[in-house]
Homo-oligomer: A and B are copies of this chain.
Amino acid sequence: MAKRSYHHGDLRRALLDATAEAIGEAGPAALSLRDLARRAGVSHAAPMHHFGDKAGLLTAFAAEGFDKLSAELSAGSGEFLEAGVAYVRFALAHRAHFEVMFSPGLYRAEDADLAAARQRARRALYEGLAAMRARPDPARPDPARPDPARPDPARPDPGRTVGGSAGEWDETRAAGLAAWSVAHGFATLWLSGALPGTSAAPEDAARLVFARLRDGVG
């Protein structure tokens, strides 16, 4: 606590917080361990004791991000559209974490703690996405099916395997991946400033985009 003492108290925590702050100001590329040390008021080599090297710091930072994401997804309603919005909200609110999490070149992707955190986040994510098939939005009328006897070839039954590898590319999985792709793509494009002239609130825009995925654009 007391910054003047030889021991910082919780330097590890302070460095992770400083990391988020520094990345938020100038992006991950401009991140400097020595700058973090200055922010925390310690010597330039202090960070290395806790994280080994820069990649170690970012590995811990990414793991923290995956845990934050898990928490925010689990706190949601579990409804499909809201799960996607929560994903986008996380990316915007924790931009620094989000950017590092999906830049594996910056950290050690094979780290055990990180892999576990990522696994937890993926589980939480797919729980929210699985809801899109099991329980459709009750406010939305059931889409008319053409004919049960002659099913639409473009919409096979869930569970039907499409790809070559057995069981890998069933329709549920493809739908989940599509949902994740929309959420991730929208968040990434928004963060990168690639969307021109979008003055609307990102969450509202995201909701419209997710509705397109739910109902189809064809």
Contact = CB atoms under 8 A, between A and B. Distances in A.
A178 B212 contact: yes
Interface string A31-56: 00000000000000000000000000
A165 B200 contact: yes
Given A154-B215, A163-B205, A102 B177 contact: no
Contact of A177 (B136, B179, B205): B205
Given A27-B105, A103-B192, A140-B154, A212 B168 contact: no
A22 interface: no
Contact of A218 (B109, B136, B177): B136
B188 A186 contact: no
Interface string A204-218: 110011111111111
For A105, A146, A196, A198, which residue has the most chain B Cβ atoms within 10 angstroms? A105
A150 to B, nearest CB: 9
Contacts of A28: 29, 105
Interface of A: 26-30, 80, 102-106, 109, 118, 122, 132-133, 136-137, 140-141, 143-146, 152-155, 162-165, 168-169, 171, 174-175, 177-186, 188-189, 192-200, 204-205, 208-218
